[in-house]
Amino acid sequence: MDVLEQDNPQSIRHVFYRMTDPRLGEPVVKTEKGYVQVQRRIVAMRRDATLPYDWIVDTSRSGIFTNTFLNPTDFIESMLWQYRADPWRSSKWYCEVWVESRSIAGVIEELCEEYAVSLYPCGGFTSLTLAFEASATLNKMAANGKKLMILYIGDWDQSGVIVDKSLEKELRQHLSRRVDLHFERLAITEEQIARYNLPTKPRKETDRRSHHIRATVEAEAMPANILRGLLRKKLDTLLPKGALAKARRESERGQADLQIIAAEAEG
């Protein structure tokens, strides 16, 4: 409970890794059995209202909806919140965030929405179709004079250190030769494992890839508040000073104008 009071929302995997910290009085064993133990405890706490439901995120399941409206006024009022002024229009950068898993996406989704940054969960090695479709936006932004920044968050293990290299290769394959693309692994890095004393697991000896990886760390092992802090700090360096606050004010004015239109439509 204390882990989530101090830092929420988090995925169950994030909470699990926090609870396996050997510095705790009674750490959870870092096994599938330990994960199930944490999962069941969280379910019980949510059921008895000890733990707020919105402190846990799960992007692995979602509904499919068809939007309907009572009338044109209802439509305009329902869409007000979608109006956002673009904080990136005065920036020389266009930025996207790619993550290895939906679990990580759920933890940073709200922050990406705040900064109006596109978020792509690639589910391990990205599909060729997803990379191709994403490259169309990158080419468009580059044609408009933007420098491109891809920030990547993924595991530090035999496959995890290859996933981002594969993604970058797939994206570049569909980009114009003149595109200025910067690709950065934001987390997990070897330096971060030491700095934040992240819990590690032995490498799978049956996996012959990435021989330099001796101990593995999943992205969920990094505390969610630290991960969000790293991302926020990086995004702030890409935006002009005050751009986010200015965009918020413009958004509020635009939404107020739309409310007037909705009132006139109702009349």
- pLDDT tens digits for range 130-142: 899 999 999 999 9
Q: Exposed e or buried b for every residue in 228-239, given b needs 16+ CB within 10 A?
A: bebbeeebeebb
Residue tagged 């990086």 (tokens): 234
Model pLDDT, residue 54: 85
Cβ(8)–Cβ(55) below 8 Å: yes
Q: Where are the domains of the chain?
A: 2-55, 92-238
Q: Regarding the domain delimited by 92-238, which CATH topology (the fold level of the hierarchy) does it fall under?
A: Dna Topoisomerase Vi A Subunit; Chain: A, domain 2 (3.40.1360)
Model pLDDT, residue 265: 74
Model pLDDT, residue 169: 94
Q: What is the C-alpha R_g of the chain?
A: 21
Model pLDDT, residue 207: 67
- The angle at the Cα of 161, spanning 155 to 163, to the nearest 5 degrees, equals 90
Residue 84 confidence class, pLDDT cut points 50, 70, 90: very high
pLDDT at 210 over 80: no
Model pLDDT, residue 151: 98
Query: Of 35, 142, 26, 44, nearest to 92 (Cα)?
Result: 142
Comparing 30-44, 182-196, 208-222, the range with the smallest average pLDDT is: 208-222
Residue 60 confidence class, pLDDT cut points 50, 70, 90: low
pLDDT at 2 over 70: yes
Cβ(234)–Cβ(186) below 8 Å: yes
Region class of 23: left (phi > 0), else alpha (psi between -120 and 50), else beta: alpha
Mean pLDDT of 183-197: 95
pLDDT at 196 over 80: yes
pLDDT at 62 over 80: no
Query: Of 137, 123, 99, nearest to 219 (Cα)?
Result: 99
pLDDT at 186 over 80: yes
Start-to-end CA span in the chain (Å): 51
With H, G, I as helix, E, B as strand and everything else as coil, classify residue 27.
Answer: coil
Residue 261 tokens read as: 């239109």
- What distance in Å separates the CA atoms of residue 153 and residue 97, rounded to the nearest whole number? 8
Residue 41 tokens read as: 């405890």
Cis peptide leading into residue 52 (ω within 30°) = no
User: What mean pLDDT value characterizes the chain?
Assistant: 88
Comparing 61-75, 170-184, 249-263, the range with the smallest average pLDDT is: 61-75
Pairing of strands 147-153, 181-187: parallel
Residue 187 confidence class, pLDDT cut points 50, 70, 90: very high
Residue 1 confidence class, pLDDT cut points 50, 70, 90: low
Residue tagged 């009349």 (tokens): 267
- pLDDT tens digits for range 27-50: 888 788 888 888 888 888 888 888
pLDDT at 12 over 90: no
Measured in degrees and rounded to the nearest 5, phi and psi for residue 173 equal -60, -30
